[in-house]
Amino acid sequence: MEIAIDLGKRKSYVVMEDNGRLVKEGYVETTKDRFSTFFGDVDNPKIIVEASSTTNWIANVFEGCDITVAHPAKVRLIAQSVKKTDKIDAHTIMDLYKKDYLPKLYLPSKGVKDARDMCRDRSLIVRQRVAIINKIKYHAFCLGIEIKGHGIRKKVLRRLKEEQQLEFLIGQLEATDTTINRCNQKIADFVGKGETLVSYYARLINTIPGFGPYGSLVIASEIGDINRFPDEFRLFSFAGVVPRIYQSGDKEWKGHITKGDTFLKAVLLQCAHTHIRCVKSSAVTYWHEDNKDRIGKKKTKVGSMKRLLRIIYWMLKRDEEYHDR
């Protein structure tokens, strides 16, 4: 039984077919009970949905079922229509699925989603902490207190606590520090003791010098199942460390790197920088030092990221820890 759903936050349009024969269709409230009632006694349904903010919800509700997620931008590109309704969208998704023209997205497992949420929640709190520190520095500057560097030293923090104007911001800073420490501990426990595939991947990645539990888990969770990448170049494209290529006639030129997974790219850049700074004898560091003056710092950073990502790809493929050369 194939079930195509045009998901909405309050109500969804559902089309049910059995071997190409329409069984039932109509609007359903977007709740677990309403969906179960509408589906009836259907064994092993194949659910087809378009990616949206409710995709994770439907994946949790029907965990264990065969769920296909369509790429929303590419579906619109293939099936553009002036007349656009929920009913038409649901039938379009069903028709593209039956003809094997549906552009599919990777649906991560629950373990991967939990790891991603854990890392992205920490990233959000860190960004909030940076905003608080910048606000404190601004007020301190207005009060004639100089703060050097990115953070705030304990000695300076004790001095700032004496200022009543900064009492609320100092309290917020201490609260975020406590929350970040709890997140770090939770991530370390997940990487060290977790029994999921993504935690095992993170343990392997963590053997690379310069990678901590957080960076390792970010990269492992964003990659998901390594077998979905048939070669390392697909992983490079996914991460956004390959240049845009423009070609016309006999001429070809390369532009800036693609967008890719921006969260993965940012953390990979930080880990590459730490690896190069701390490990002077690795092949990545040698390549970086040999090329930074010849091709420039920015291109050298991207090249270093790509080489580290190649190492990670083959570590996960071959199920082995890091070893240089």
Span 188-236, pLDDT tens digits: 999 999 889 999 999 999 999 989 999 999 999 999 999 999 999 999 9
Q: Which of 70, 86, 105 is the last residue of a domain?
A: 105
Looking at the structure, tell me whether residues 97 and 155 fall in a common domain: no
Which residues lie closer than 8 Å to 15 by C-beta, 6 or more apart? 3, 4, 5, 22, 25, 87, 90, 91, 94
Looking at the structure, tell me whether residues 37 and 11 fall in a common domain: yes
Domain contains 53 = yes
Confidence tier at 312 by pLDDT (50, 70, 90)? very high
Q: Give me the number of domains the chain comprises.
A: 3
Looking at the structure, tell me whether residues 9 and 100 fall in a common domain: yes
Domain contains 205 = no
pLDDT in tens, 86-101: 888 888 889 889 888 8
Q: Which of 90, 105, 120 is the last residue of a domain?
A: 105
Looking at the structure, tell me whether residues 229 and 253 fall in a common domain: yes
Looking at the structure, tell me whether residues 10 and 98 fall in a common domain: yes
Domain contains 230 = yes
Confidence tier at 120 by pLDDT (50, 70, 90)? very high
Question: Is the pLDDT higher at 117 or at 251?
Answer: 117
SS (H, E, C) the chain: CEEEEECCCCEEEEEEEECCEEEEEEEEECCHHHHHHHHCCCCCCEEEEECCCCHHHHHHHCCCCEEEEECHHHHHHHCCCCCCCHHHHHHHHHHHHHCCCCCEECCCCHHHHHHHHHHHHHHHHHHHHHHHHHHHHHHHHHCCCCCCCCCCCHHHHHHHHCCHHHHHHHHHHHHHHHHHHHHHHHHHHHHHHCCCHHHHHHHHHCCCCCCCHHHHHHHHHHHCCHHHCCCHHHHHHHHCCCEEEEEECCEEEEEEECCCCHHHHHHHHHHHHHHHHHCCCCHHHHHHHHHHHHHCHHHHHHHHHHHHHHHHHHHHHHCCCCCCC
Q: Which CATH number covers residue 58?
A: 3.30.420.40
Looking at the structure, tell me whether residues 265 and 301 fall in a common domain: yes
Query: Is 303:283 a contact under the CB 8 Å cutoff?
Result: no
What residues make up the domain containing 92?
A: 2-105
Average pLDDT estimate for 5-32: 90
Mean pLDDT rounded to a whole number for the chain: 88
Distances (CA, A) of 154 to 2, 25, 182: 61, 64, 20
Looking at the structure, tell me whether residues 299 and 248 fall in a common domain: yes
Domain contains 207 = no
Residue 238 has pLDDT above 90, yes or no: yes
Looking at the structure, tell me whether residues 143 and 60 fall in a common domain: no
Looking at the structure, tell me whether residues 231 and 257 fall in a common domain: yes
User: Which pLDDT belongs to residue 325?
Assistant: 61
Residue 104 has pLDDT above 90, yes or no: no
Query: Is 207:322 a contact under the CB 8 Å cutoff?
Result: yes
Distance between the two ends of the chain, CA-based, in angstroms?
52
Looking at the structure, tell me whether residues 90 and 9 fall in a common domain: yes
Domain contains 198 = no
Least confident of 63-67, 154-158, 223-227: 154-158
Domain contains 183 = yes
Average pLDDT estimate for 55-84: 81
Domain contains 37 = yes
Residue 287 has pLDDT above 70, yes or no: yes
User: Which pLDDT belongs to residue 320?
Assistant: 92
Query: Is 214:123 a contact under the CB 8 Å cutoff?
Result: no
Domain contains 28 = yes
Looking at the structure, tell me whether residues 98 and 124 fall in a common domain: no
pTM of structure: 0.85
Looking at the structure, tell me whether residues 224 and 303 fall in a common domain: yes
| φ and ψ at residue 207, rounded to 5 degrees | -80, -10
Q: Which of 105, 130, 150 is the last residue of a domain?
A: 105
Query: Is 13:87 a contact under the CB 8 Å cutoff?
Result: yes
